[in-house]
Amino acid sequence: MRGFTLIELLIALMIFGILAMLAYGGLDSVMQSRERTTAELQRLRQLQITFSQMQRDIEQLTPRDGHDALAGKLLRLSAGQTSDTGLLMQYTKTGFRNPAQQIRSHLQRVAWRIEDNKLYRLSWPYVDRAFDDQSTSTLMMERVSDVKIRFLDNKNEWHNLWPLPDALTNGATLLQPLSVEVTLVMDDWGEIVRLFKVPG
C-alpha cells in the first residue's frame, strides 16, 4: 500500500490553507456586516424614540406660561428666539406622570438643545423655577449636525420662530401653531423630517 509523497502533502496543505483563508474572509465579512446592521438598527431605534418623545410632548402642549428664577417670563411655547440659553425649542406640557404621588403639578417644562453634535431633551420638575431648580438632561441622538424647526400658523404659513414677533410687540393673544415640523440633519442619514400636529 503506497502512502502520500511529500509533494502531495504539501499540495494538500496548500489547498487546505487557501480554503481556510477563504472561509475566514467570509466569516469576517459576515461578522462586520452583522456589526454594521446592529449599529444601524440601534441608530434607527434612537431616531424612533426621539420622534416619539417629540410627538408625545407636542400632543400635550398646554397654554401655560412659566417664570424663571429671576421672575422673567417663560412663554408657553418658544423657538428660534435669540437668547443665551442655546435652546432650540422650549414649552410647557401636561401629562407629567407622578407615580410617587409627590406634591407637584402635572405640568412640566421641557426644552431641546443641540451641543457637540448631540441632541438633548431637558426637563424641569416645575413650570415656575426657583434658584435651586435643576434640569434633567437626556441624550436622545448622536451625530446630529443641525435641527431645523418650523411652525404652521392659522393662515397656513410657515415660520422659523414662535411666537411671531408681531404677537410679542403688539401684545396679541399668543396662539398655538397648527403643526410643528422638525428636521434632523444627521451626519450619516442626511435630513429626516417629521411633522407633528398640535392639538386644539
56-99 pLDDT, tens digit per residue, is 999 999 888 888 877 788 888 999 754 556 789 999 998 777 66
| pLDDT greater than 70 at residue 2 | no
The 3 state secondary structure assigned to 61-77 is ECCCCEECCCCCEECCE
186 strand-pairing partners: 144, 190
The DSSP H or E segment spanning 59 is helix 6-59
Domain 57-197 in CATH 3.10.610.10: yes
Question: CB–CB of 103/84 below 8 Å?
Answer: no
Q: Which amino acid does the sequence have at 59?
A: E
Q: What 3-state DSSP class applies to 57?
A: helix
Residue spans of the domains in the chain: they are 57-197
* pLDDT tens digit sequence for 103-158: 667 888 999 999 999 999 999 888 887 765 678 999 999 999 999 999 999 889 99
